[in-house]
Amino acid sequence: MAYELYYWPDIQGRGEFVRLALEEAAAEYIDVARQPARQGGGMAAMMTLLEEGASGRVSFAPPFLKDGDFLIGQTANILLYLGSKLGLAPRDEAGRLWAHQLQLTVADLVVEVHDTHHPISVNLYYDDQKKEAKKRAREFIDSRLPKFLGYFEQVHAANPRRGDFMVGSKLSYVDLSIFQVIEGLRYAFPRAMQKQEPDYPRLVELHDRVQERPNIAAYLASERRLPFSEEGIFRHYPELER
């Protein structure tokens, strides 16, 4: 049975980390909110499940994944589950927890990226918190961005199975997520990334290798890959870069 992914239909957002894993593994899946309502899809289908849950289990927010009787929310948790199913995570417990730890750190970075354009409230427009956004974005670019990318670069360098991956000697969902992070950061902060990227050669190489994987390349060229936009997490507001 096909996996059912529930996420906002018009943005990459957090759902994209899940889409990349499903696409790399060539898993059969339905991106439910992007299907026509007459086929049981659309926003209404997502909102119903979001509000009612299943077997008493309700998610706080999309994305969530339905796999038969399983209904799983929280991006990193979905990847923890799919990682085993799709062969995109180490099989041993220590490795599985390590990959998950890195994904949770990606999630922390994603929150901070989001807050560069919404430092005060998700309920206010960007224009209503632009002044604060400029301050937060400056701090992010100068301090947090190098801290996170420096950390991931260090992790890659310290992988004892020296090679091409963040974890162990095989591709994992962490590699796909690092690709997405680099893509998103380049979109949101092109000037900062142009300046900082030379400090993280391993991540840039990893990004390029992921991009060239046949299933990922096919996905990126397809209509299934939504464009970045000023509705998502990674937004390009030129005034947020100095």
Under a CB-based contact definition with an 8 Å cutoff, are residues 211 and 20 in contact? no
Count of residues touching a copy of itself (by CB under 8 A): 45
Q: Is 74 in the site for a copy of itself (CB under 8 A)?
A: yes
The packing angle between helices 173-188 and 201-212, to 10°, is: 110
Q: Is 100 in the site for a copy of itself (CB under 8 A)?
A: yes
Q: How far is the CB of 84 from a copy of itself (least distance, A)?
A: 9
For tokens 């979109």, what's the residue? 187
For CA atoms 80, 85, 87, 93, the dihedral sign is positive
Which of 6, 98, 200, 228 is close enough to bind a copy of itself by CB under 8 A? 98
Residues 6 or more apart whose Cβ sits within 8 Å of residue 182: 193, 203, 204, 207
Which of 2, 44, 48, 108 is close enough to bind a copy of itself by CB under 8 A? 108
Compare residues 85 and 224 and give the one whose CB is closer to a copy of itself: 85
For tokens 């095989």, what's the residue? 170
Please, which residues bridge with residue 31 across strands?
5
Compare residues 108 and 208 and give the one whose CB is closer to a copy of itself: 108
Which of 26, 47, 120, 217 is close enough to bind a copy of itself by CB under 8 A? 120
Compare residues 61 and 217 and give the one whose CB is closer to a copy of itself: 61
Which of 27, 43, 58, 220 is close enough to bind a copy of itself by CB under 8 A? 58
| Dihedral Cα 220, 31, 115, 143, nearest 10 deg | -40
Q: Determine the Cα–Cα distance for residues 41 and 32; give it in Å rounded to an integer.
A: 5
Under a CB-based contact definition with an 8 Å cutoff, are residues 113 and 188 in contact? yes
Which of 36, 38, 125, 160 is close enough to bind a copy of itself by CB under 8 A? 160
Q: Is 121 in the site for a copy of itself (CB under 8 A)?
A: yes
Q: Is 227 in the site for a copy of itself (CB under 8 A)?
A: no
Q: Determine the Cα–Cα distance for residues 180 and 86; give it in Å rounded to an integer.
A: 19
Q: What is residue 168's DSSP assignment? A: T
Distance of CA 180 to the CA centre of its chain: 6
Compare residues 9 and 95 and give the one whose CB is closer to a copy of itself: 95
Q: How far is the CB of 24 from a copy of itself (least distance, A)?
A: 21
* Chain positions contacting a copy of itself, by CB under 8 A: 53, 55-60, 69-70, 72-74, 76-77, 80-81, 94, 97-98, 100-101, 104-105, 108, 111, 115, 119-124, 132, 135-136, 139, 143-144, 148, 151, 154-155, 158-160
